[in-house]
Chain A
Amino acid sequence: MTLTLRALLGATVSLTLAGAAMAETTITVATVNNGDMIRMQGLMDDFYAKHPDIKVEWVTLEENVLRQRVTTDIATKGGQFDVLTIGTYEVPIWGKQGWLVSLNDLPAEYDVDDLLPAIRGGLTVDGELYAAPFYGESSMVMYRKDLMEAAGLTMPDAPTWDDIKAAAAAMTDKSKEQYGICLRGKAGWGENMAFLTAMSNSYGARWFDENWKPQFDGEAWKATLTDYLAMMNEYGPPGAANNGFNENLSLFQQGKCGMWIDATVAASFVTNPADSTVADKVGFALAPDTGKGKRGNWLWAWSLGIPAGTQKADAAKAFVAWATSKEYLEVVAAKEGWANVPPGTRASLYANPEYQKVPFAQMTLDSINSADPNNPTVDPVPYLGVQFVAIPEFQGLGTAVGQQFSAALAGTMSAEDALAAAQTLVTTEMTRSGYIK
């Protein structure tokens, strides 16, 4: 019965589709509600002019909802989307599963060799490019030049964590709601754990040793978490345990943060006079280190992938190629200025003299180039990924550990207890999943 019904429904659907295909193909694009994606939705006229036969239907969702929605759909082969906005964490895992359409056959004028090698490497599995980067980011220090000057300090281009601590202490004035440092505290593998994992790399910590044994009981993680908590408790804003990227961006734009270590894409938002009260006072520096050879910066690219099994792969490819092309960057630049183009994907952008005038361009490029997802930590590890571990279990693990560290930040738990709890729960899950024999 089910089969007949399915066949009937299928027939109806494909008939309707065939009828529509003559006129136009509608593709459904799932995307995250970040500024660059919203901006693209306002620039679709250019795409429609080039592809009058394709219509794009947007599904814009908040990041966590999007990820959960898209993963459910692709894992159950629901077939609801034709283009997915996904990150460097999903692409290698999904690519290996055969869930994504290979993009190796994009046209020559797309100039795939122009993509930054670090970013492209993160989206490639066994030589197949499985998603095209829409924007790429690393993380860096954004700081208030005026406050540093008032405190009589200068920020080195490549600071250490001790420099950061000193600067945070000097810039904090809680009576004026001025907090020396704003960092992510909201629990989540893509929120506080992205920052803390990257930070821990610079302290010489790692998630797992070569035998997949969790390392939260080591000194390096203890030093990382203790320093993080000390900085946030003394110089951070109230409510930091609920602050993610967006909350911190808002605080920084209002001039309440002396420093903010976060995604490089934020640079264009904090220097945009329309939204930011401190637009002309922001300086940039590389993410800090402790002299152990790794910096505390991550690597991420929001990318467009096409789920295997879509009936509209051609239209979807046309869209992906347009949205991540050099021409799209020019469209944005013409409308909104060079500072607002989606950064971090193409070498040609950074070679463009117009773009080099943008104050954060060089620092962004240097940050991206200094991150190495294939070799992220001081000591060797069995995994890929800078601020994540590219295994399917990581999303759950990262979020669970993030909950513990967020509780430590809120003060409901000590750093030692949080690390011990993290060690226990990661060990349990890794044993259960068969990594630890």
Chain B
Amino acid sequence: MATAHSRTAARLMLSPAVILLLLWMIVPLGMTLYFSTLRYNLLMPGMETFVGFENYYYFVNQPAFWAALSNTLILVLGVLCITVVGGILLALLMDQPFWGQGIVRVLVIAPFFVMPTVSALVWKNMFMNPVNGIFAHIAKALGLPPFDFLSHAPLASIILIVAWQWLPFATLILLTALQSLDREQQEAAEMDGANGFQRFFYLTVPHLTRSITVVILIQTIFLLSVFAEILVTTNGGPGTASTNLTYLVYAQSLLNYDVGGGSAGGIIAVILANIVAIFLMRMIGKNLEA
């Protein structure tokens, strides 16, 4: 129906966003690409020399790289599992009629508003600290030795913290979707003798697919670049047990001041993120068309 006129107008209206994002992508990325071929230590300016792909070689061949890669995947998948499953269960619970719905919804939504730095600090000090944290106090009250979360289960602890921040988001989207579920259809199915599980798997789950895809997409974007939580709690350690790719790039460029190596790492991270993006696109594309 669109006329040629409105097509031109549409292009014009689209262009500021596209041009800005293109610039935002190309300028830093171009500079990073350039730096990634230099030996460039921030503390020794003026000594930059062209080294070709050496930085990439060293970045990929450090033992921490593969650890970081698998940690990144575990972190993303772990948080996604907890928030999606937890979100569905929580949404199902909150979709039932009960007293004080409004207040409970406010309580559940709250962690989403908390700065990542603050939530990491609070979890690290007030909860997971093995001497003064609440978990340690509880363990001691039960006569157990306190568990040292950040040393013995660093990645799991970080997954827990990040999942706490994102659970509200998943719950809210899924709850909104549940509330738009066709009640009559549900009742009809009940009449036909479908039990709770059957109704859940044949009516509710298909209805939620789109929302779940959206939750996965949005969260993946943010989870791939989790950084503040690691910096505040474990500094990527012990060893490299909780170093993800973003943190490794940070360590390379801002702790070692190896801008060349850090830039190479940044480029590798962008490439990997785009592989994930293509993968997601396939998945989302299918689900969103429907």
A interface residue numbers (CB < 8 A to B): 68, 71-72, 75-76, 93, 97, 177, 186-188, 237-242, 250-251, 254, 256, 392-393, 395-397, 399-400, 403-404, 406-407, 409-413, 421, 425, 428, 432
Contacts and interface: CB of A to CB of B under 8 A. Distances in A.
Contacts of A396: 251, 255-258
B29 interface: no
Given A188-B235, A404-B239, A406-B237, A238 B255 contact: no
Contact of B58 (A403, A407, A432): A432
Contacts of B239: 403-404, 406-407, 410, 412-413
Contacts of A93: 43
Given A187-B235, A240-B151, 7 more contacts: A75-B257, A97-B43, A97-B44, A239-B131, A239-B148, A239-B151, A393-B256
A76 B43 CA distance: 9
A410 B152 CA distance: 7
B150 A239 contact: yes
B269 interface: no
A238 B257 contact: no
B255 A399 contact: yes
Contacts of B168: none
Contacts of A432: 58
27 contacts: A68-B255, A97-B43, A97-B44, A177-B131, A186-B235, A187-B238, A238-B130, A238-B131, A238-B148, A239-B131, A240-B151, A241-B151, A241-B237, A242-B151, A242-B234, A250-B132, A396-B256, A397-B256, A399-B256, A404-B239, A406-B237, A407-B239, A409-B238, A410-B152, A410-B239, A412-B239, A413-B238
Contacts of B257: 71, 75, 392, 395-396
B152 to A, nearest CB: 7
B238 A239 contact: no
A76 B256 CA distance: 15
A256 B131 CA distance: 9
B122 to A, nearest CB: 15
A350 to B, nearest CB: 35
B44 A392 contact: yes
Contact of B255 (A237, A250, A395): A395
Interface of B: 41-45, 58, 62-63, 129-132, 136, 145-146, 148, 150-152, 234-241, 251, 254-258
B237 A68 contact: no
Contacts of A425: 62-63
A406 B150 CA distance: 12
A76 B62 CA distance: 27
Contacts of B62: 425, 428
A233 to B, nearest CB: 12
Max count, chain A CB within 10 A of own CB: residue among B45, B132, B146, B151: B151
Given A75-B42, A93-B43, A425-B62, A403 B255 contact: no
A6 to B, nearest CB: 17
Contact of A410 (B63, B146, B235, B238): B238
A251 B150 contact: no
Contacts of A250: 132
A71 B41 CA distance: 12
A407 B238 contact: yes
B67 to A, nearest CB: 11
Contact of B241 (A254, A393, A412): A412
Nearest to B146: A238
Nearest to A189: B255
A243 to B, nearest CB: 9
A187 B237 contact: yes
A239 B240 contact: no
B251 to A, nearest CB: 7
Contacts of B148: 238-239, 241-242
Nearest to A398: B255
B199 to A, nearest CB: 47
B150 A242 contact: yes
Given A72-B42, A396-B255, A399-B255, A237 B131 contact: yes
A410 B151 contact: yes
A399 B251 contact: yes
Contacts of A75: 42-43, 45, 257
Contacts of B45: 75, 97
Contacts of B236: 187, 403
Contacts of A411: 151-152
A-B residue pairs, 9 tightest by C-beta? A396-B256, A407-B239, A410-B238, A392-B43, A239-B130, A238-B130, A407-B238, A410-B151, A239-B148
A71 B238 contact: no
A238 B145 contact: yes
A44 B42 CA distance: 34
Nearest to A244: B235
Max count, chain A CB within 10 A of own CB: residue among B236, B254, B258: B254
Contact of A407 (B132, B146, B237): B237
A173 B151 CA distance: 22
Nearest to A179: B131
B238 A395 contact: no
A407 to B, nearest CB: 3
